[in-house]
Structure 1
Amino acid sequence: MKRFTTSLLLASILSIPGFARAADIDWGKVDAAFGKTAAVSGGVHRYGLPRSDLKVTLEGVTIKPALALGGWVAFAPMHGEAMLMGDLVLLETEITPVMTKLLDAGLDVTALHNHILRATPATFYMHVGGHGDPAKMAEIIHAALSTSSKTPFDPPPASPAPQAPIELDTGKLDEALGVKGVANGGVYQFNVPRRDPITEEGMTVNAALGGANAINFQPTGGGKAAITGDFLVTGDEVNPLIRALRAGDIEVTAIHSHMLNENPRLFFIHFWANDDAQKLARNVRGALEKTAIAKN
């Protein structure tokens, strides 16, 4: 089987005759492989794979999938084929079977780590990458997850239920973070892009591919919220950021990479707190100011 590797050189791709243009990719076949329609942003086709089958709790908080269990796979068109990036949410017992099937089928695993601590059951996050026919890569991921984990592939309902109200003053959270958040599955989410572009194998890694700071707020009552997500920083920003987080009583839960060949080299800082939502938003913004974020 052809190896779908992120290390393919662009020159070799361009030298192969007969490649279709990116616009000629049959995205319907990719949708069919996952049993759902992608969310499309900036040409990137992203498929959500939330672990709605799991009941994960941490310090009395039942974690909603949109807070910290939101697996995903995204494809960016690249010279008639596609670059794959994704983040799969797995139980400990699912890690090795899923990894083995992905590797045997030619996909790459680019990271494996936790996001939060002390949760029951423990969950882990496997980042995957590849390059090739997006429909074939989608079939590989579907087969690996459906035979080695309980990841649901149910399509969204034909008439989605209205968003439940977020029991927080979201206007004040927007003001504190300096960006507009969006409600998703009972969680208020922020994406804060970095100032300078990120590239991998010559492709721009945008927010749909995981190239932005992600900050999530889940209401826990009385104006409080559980927060988690990840900051995206360069090496020299790691310690200024985590010092700012600790000064704001925000726990640092993981420091690691997600990609292998990105430029500039980046690290992802995961975090957790359950406290007054507006205070946390101000402290998160203070931490973000220690990094090169885009300014409005």
Structure 2
Amino acid sequence: MRAVAVAGAATATIKASGLVQAVVSPLHTKTPPLTASDMAAIDTALGKKGRYVETEAVYTVALPRNDLKVSIKGEAVPIPLGFGGWVSVKRTMDGKSAVLMSDTVLLQEEVNPLISAAHANGLEISAIHNHFFYESPRIFYMHLHGMGAPDDLARRYAAAIKMTKLFPANQPPAGAAPTRTGKEIFDLPMLDKIVGHTGTVNGVTYKYTVGRGDMTIMAMGAEMTANIGLNSWASFAGESGAAHIAGDMAMLEAEVNAVVRALRSNNLEVVALHNHMLGEQPRIIFLHYYGRGAVATLAQGFRAALNELGKEKGGAIQMQPS
């Protein structure tokens, strides 16, 4: 085996299989923070307030598709199960520019008009794919990115989505609060014990977001962290005895098949395997999965997949704030 440098922050070991397993040391410098005026400009451009995660220096605006009524195999499922998009902005490590990344939730007929609008506004497409099987209507996910000053990125992104249902002003209200939330539906302490992390209640769902705290991933001069899309997640909906799980796993190439085996051995369906980003180092592959069953059993499947990540670091995947 031989070692090669990766992005100045990682060393990759090339195994006999030809796949690269990163052995990564974290960066010792921090991402410069966004300013209050940067965040205000993003809010103004999109007409909606976002959320700043100081530990990652990431500002995110959620873009749920509340206009959609989605079902899987004929059963209605809530939008927070996995039908909400987002846009995030953070500065590059040198502070001279910023990076925008976004995951957009689209009907089939909305994909190509948004490609044209994104390109017209100086943004790039990094991936287009499914996240689900059996859903109605058919949903696709398009990842966008760009570089520039935070306020300029926000204006260009807003212009690209202005005529779409993604733009917050074009969305209907979320509707009345549910009579029961994920907190009442599920035994959260039990799930947290199984998964080994603490999740977040979002309406009738409960979601875990787990970053790759075992390594440093760089793209376009910025550190990719949980809140700019570098994470594994699991969202639960339904009832404790008959729940849905939908999620995503963020993997090194050498981890892919171990994660696939873990999911399938726990009767979870592998739905998609693909990239989300372009040019990131080390290379990250994303896997989407889905399942039905008792919520504790589904959570055990997610935990089994997490156990296959970071084995070069002893499997100690740490949760980044989300």
Q: TM-score range by the shorter chain?
A: 0.7 to 0.9
Measure how far apart 1:28 and its partner are.
1.3
The residue that corresponds to 1:102 in the other structure is 118
Change in 2 beyond 3 A, CA 1:236/1:162: same
Tell me whether 73-82 or 95-104 shows the greater mean CA deviation. 73-82
The residue that corresponds to 1:202 in the other structure is 221
**Partner AA of 2:123 in structure 1:** L
Q: What stretches of structure 2 of length at least 5 have no aligned partner?
A: 1-31, 311-315
Equivalent of 2:40 in 11, 28, 46: 28
**Partner AA of 1:205 in structure 2:** M
Superposition TM-score, scaled by structure 2 size: 0.79
Measure how far apart 1:32 and its partner are.
0.7
Q: Is the 8 A contact 2:121 2:157 kept in 1?
A: no
Equivalent of 1:111 in 124, 127, 134: 127
- For 1:259 and 1:72, locate their aligned partners in 2 and report how far apart those are by CA, in whole Å: 15
- For 1:295 and 1:24, locate their aligned partners in 2 and report how far apart those are by CA, in whole Å: 29
SS at match of 2:258: helix
- For 2:308 and 2:33, locate their aligned partners in 1 and report how far apart those are by CA, in whole Å: 41
The residue that corresponds to 1:12 in the other structure is none
Cα deviation per residue 1:66-124 (whole Å; 9 max; x = unaligned)?
11111000000232532101101110000000011101211111111110012110111
Q: Is 1:129 aligned to 2:145, yes or no?
A: yes
Q: Is 1:287 aligned to 2:305, yes or no?
A: yes
Measure how far apart 1:284 and its partner are.
1.4
Measure how far apart 1:176 and its partner are.
0.5
Q: Is the 8 A contact 1:73 1:86 kept in 2?
A: yes
Q: Is the 8 A contact 1:51 1:152 kept in 2?
A: no
Tell me whether 130-139 or 259-268 shows the greater mean CA deviation. 130-139
Q: How many residues align?
A: 273
- For 1:253 and 1:76, locate their aligned partners in 2 and report how far apart those are by CA, in whole Å: 30
State the superposition RMSD in angstroms: 2.3
- For 1:63 and 1:145, locate their aligned partners in 2 and report how far apart those are by CA, in whole Å: 25
What's the % identity of the aligned pairs? 34
The residue that corresponds to 2:162 in the other structure is 146
Cα deviation per residue 1:228-280 (whole Å; 9 max; x = unaligned)?
12000011111111111111110000000011111110100000111110011
**Partner AA of 2:221 in structure 1:** G
Superposition TM-score, scaled by structure 1 size: 0.85
- For 1:260 and 1:110, locate their aligned partners in 2 and report how far apart those are by CA, in whole Å: 6
Measure how far apart 1:224 and its partner are.
2.4
Q: What stretches of structure 1 of length at least 5 have no aligned partner?
A: 1-19
